Amino acid sequence: MGSFAIELLTKYSGIPYLAQKYIFTGEPTQEQYEETFLLALKIQAWQKSVMEEIEIERR
Amino acid sequence: MEKLQMTGKANNSGFEITATINTEINRFATRNYDVKEEEVDSPVNSWIISAILYILALIFYAEIGLALDIWASLFILLSAFAAGNILWSVPTLLRKNSLWKQWHACEHKLVNIITRNNPKFPCLEKLKQTSPYNSNCGSVLIITTLLFNLYIICALPFTGYLLPIILNFIGVIYLVAIFARSLCPKKYPVNKLTFPIMIILAGFAALILLSQQQA
């Protein structure tokens, strides 16, 4: 009952989603997007290298 | 395939991401994140203040059912503190496009695009279209606990001093959320903390109810 109420209030009500969208985040600028994108590329490159290392270790 | 786990933190100057794959951990940050360290991630300036208020609030919580009249004035005072604590963060949160909010959105978008589109190569347009919502964000914990708090208040048959009780209840949950997050933001994911906190709060609510029935 309690857990259902929590689910109802949070997951299904969409209130945390709306709060995060309108209160806790804003619309980034083009420069911010570009910097974020560069970071995404760096993370992906790192992820790829780690995966390759793991694959080599397995063999 | 090994799962990539990411946790992030944003401030006025940028954001940082800690990525983990198995035992491999790496930290990624935007250009100016470390240059200007402004503590705007937490709406409360110092977690020490939060911790003190939190402990005090818990003591008053236990006392409320036993001697409401004696503690009422102090209780109201504490409620004012707690409410003030919430009000402290309101100007930052209501500013439409503060830098913190923008970087916070960037952080969420990055985490979402990497984890959802993995292993596809991200593109800038896709990044813009990605949702800024992340269910593991600390803000979800705050909102969730506030909502749960409201649910408990509605369920309990309080008779007197309703306003201070509501104020204090909201304040305590808010402080618990901030305190828990400031203590262990990286060790434990937010969604794992939510349930134990709610159990503790439900316990306190039951204590109040029991004390009221005995009186």
Render each residue's pLDDT in chain A as its tens digit; 59 residues. Answer: 445 555 555 555 567 787 888 888 889 999 999 999 999 999 989 988 998 988 888 88
CB contact under 8 A, B151 and A9: yes
pLDDT above 90 (res B36): no
- Tell which of B143, B197, B201 to mutate to test the A interface (max A CBs under 10 Å): B143
| Between B198 and B20, residue with greater pLDDT | B20
Interface of A with B in 14-33 (CB under 8 A): 15-17, 19-21, 23-29, 32-33
- Highest mean predicted confidence (pLDDT) among B30-44, B79-93, B133-147, B162-176: B133-147
Q: What pLDDT digit, counting tens, does each position of B132-190 carry?
A: 888 778 777 667 666 665 555 555 544 455 555 665 566 556 555 555 555 444 444 44
| Between B66 and B144, residue with greater pLDDT | B144
- The residue segments making up the domain with residue A48 are 2-58
Sequence-distant (≥ 6) Cβ neighbours of residue B133 within 8 angstroms? A17, A20, A21, B108, B112
Number of compact structural domains in chain A: 1
CB contact under 8 A, B105 and A28: yes
Separation in Å, CA B87 to CA B53, B97, B182: 15, 19, 19
The dihedrals phi and psi of B95, each to the nearest 5 degrees, come to -65, 125
Residue B17 three-state SS: strand
Q: Please give the structure tokens belonging to residue A19.
A: 């709060």
CB nearest to A35's CB, from B30, B118, B150:
B30
Closest CA to B186 of B3, B1, B9, B4: B9
CB nearest to B144's CB, from A10, A40, A41:
A10
